[in-house]
């Protein structure tokens, strides 16, 4: 089993790949979302992990567009990982030494309160990725520089973690989907992801399309829309709901939906135990950022 993930090594994507496939499994890093799907389509990899949703930032549009427009691959599983940010320096550095912090631009926004309160005078320098920032800082050996990155990146490049969980919001999680040539067999605790385009854009059409799920008591866990990229005002509607596509009640609901819309099933797969992850993460992590 070969797992493709969005590189470089030391990113949250690698964390997700290790969490799902195991540290001893064969992992291959690729530098773009389309490269991940192409790797599976051409046999370079058995499966690919792509981020699809963040609890703070929302859906990852690149992944959704690939599923809608470009790849025949199916969602065969999902995994959720907590987004934890660490302040990493060369070995021997102290907080008092630091005059510059580097990272991908996104962590700067996610760690704003920590940086303003603890390091208000430190310059902030953007990097291509959190992993690249950590590697550059550690290899420089400059104790005046620090990076915001993952625990995995610190381990890979020999960095020193001087503060952990410096993100402003502890309940920050990213959901990844596992794409394969086929989706998963029923487990009794499944989720299905689909998209559809209404045949007629008229008053009540969207309500009519959702009625089969309500009448069959199928719980929708996610509802959103994306432009079709063809005409202004035309949208794909995307649903995640509980149940497997082969469950009789789901088969009936999808049949009824197909009478009023063009339906694309992205796949059915086991539901990730998010409640257990949150409980474990909240117990294990500090209530606030902590200097070590």
What is the CATH classification number for the domain harbouring 133? 3.40.190.10
| Percentage of the chain lying above the pLDDT 90 cut | 82
CA pair distance 106, 78, nearest whole angstrom: 23
- The 10s digit of each residue's pLDDT in 240-292 is 999 999 999 999 999 999 999 999 999 999 999 877 777 776 665 544 444 44
pLDDT category at 239 given cuts 50, 70, 90 is very high
Same domain, 265 and 195: yes
- The 10s digit of each residue's pLDDT in 113-150 is 999 999 999 999 999 899 999 999 999 999 999 999 99
What pLDDT, on the 0 to 100 scale, is given for residue 288? Answer: 45
Same domain, 131 and 76: no
Is residue 45 a part of any domain in this protein?
yes
Same domain, 138 and 239: no
**Encoded tokens for 144:** 């005046």
Same domain, 100 and 114: yes
Distances (CA, A) of 217 to 10, 63, 212, 228, 250: 42, 29, 8, 29, 10
- The 10s digit of each residue's pLDDT in 68-80 is 999 999 999 999 9
H helix intervals, the chain: 12-21, 33-41, 61-65, 105-110, 112-118, 130-140, 151-157, 205-215, 248-258, 274-284
Is residue 287 a part of any domain in this protein?
no
CA pair distance 29, 9, nearest whole angstrom: 7
Question: Quick check: 189 and 241 in contact, CB under 8 A?
Answer: no
Q: What mean pLDDT is reported for the chain? A: 92
- The 10s digit of each residue's pLDDT in 18-31 is 999 998 899 999 99
Question: Does a cis peptide bond (omega within 30 degrees of 0) precede residue 189?
Answer: no
Identify the CATH number of the domain in which residue 263 sits: 3.30.70.260
What pLDDT, on the 0 to 100 scale, is given for residue 195? Answer: 97
Candidates 37, 129, 146, 139; CA nearest to 87 is: 146
Is residue 289 a part of any domain in this protein?
no
Same domain, 217 and 258: yes
Number of domains in the chain: 3
What pLDDT, on the 0 to 100 scale, is given for residue 171? Answer: 83
Is residue 292 a part of any domain in this protein?
no
**Encoded tokens for 182:** 């086929």
Between residues 99 and 279, the one the model is more confident about: 99
pLDDT category at 165 given cuts 50, 70, 90 is very high
| Percentage of the chain lying above the pLDDT 70 cut | 96
Of 45-49, 51-55, 266-270, give the lowest mean pLDDT range. Answer: 51-55
Same domain, 58 and 107: no
Same domain, 95 and 155: yes
Question: Quick check: 266 and 78 in contact, CB under 8 A?
Answer: no
Tell me the whole-structure pTM to 2 decimals.
0.87
Q: Which residues belong to the active site?
A: 174, 176
Q: Is 43 left (phi over 0), alpha (psi -120 to 50) or beta?
A: left
Is residue 93 a part of any domain in this protein?
yes
Range of the domain at 228: 190-270
Is residue 290 a part of any domain in this protein?
no
Same domain, 41 and 177: yes
Is residue 291 a part of any domain in this protein?
no
Of 74-78, 162-166, 188-192, 197-201, give the lowest mean pLDDT range. Answer: 197-201
């Amino acid at each position: 089993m070969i797992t493709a993930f969005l590189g470089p090594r030391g990113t949250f994507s690698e964390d997700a790949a290790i969490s799902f496939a195991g540290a001893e499994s064969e992992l291959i890093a690729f530098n773009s979302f389309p490269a991940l799907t192409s790797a599976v389509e051409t046999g370079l990899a058995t499966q690919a992990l792509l981020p699809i949703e963040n609890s703070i930032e929302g859906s990852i549009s690149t992944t959704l567009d690939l599923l809608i427009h470009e790849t025949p691959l199916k969602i065969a599983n999902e995994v959720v990982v907590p987004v934890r940010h660490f302040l990493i320096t060369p070995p021997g550095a102290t907080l008092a030494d630091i005059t510059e912090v580097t990272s991908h631009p996104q962590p700067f926004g996610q760690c704003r309160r920590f940086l303003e309160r603890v390091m208000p005078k430190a310059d902030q320098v953007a990097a291509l990725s959190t992993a690249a920032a950590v590697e550059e800082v550690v290899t420089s050996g400059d104790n005046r520089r620090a990076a915001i990155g993952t625990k995995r990146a610190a381990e890979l490049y020999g960095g020193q973690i001087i503060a952990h969980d410096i993100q402003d919001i502890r309940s920050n999680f990213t959901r990844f989907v596992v794409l394969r040539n086929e989706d998963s067999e029923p487990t009794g605790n499944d989720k299905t992801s689909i998209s559809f385009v209404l045949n007629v854009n008229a008053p009540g059409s969207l309500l009519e399309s959702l009625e089969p799920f309500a009448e069959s008591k199928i719980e929708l866990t996610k509802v959103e829309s994306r432009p079709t990229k063809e005409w202004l005002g035309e949208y794909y509607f995307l649903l995640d709901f509980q149940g497997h596509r082969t469950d009789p009640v789901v088969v009936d609901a999808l049949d009824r939906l197909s009478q009023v819309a063009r339906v694309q099933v992205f796949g059915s797969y086991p539901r990730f135990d998010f409640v257990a992850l949150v409980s474990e993460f909240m117990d294990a992590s500090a209530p606030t950022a902590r200097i070590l």
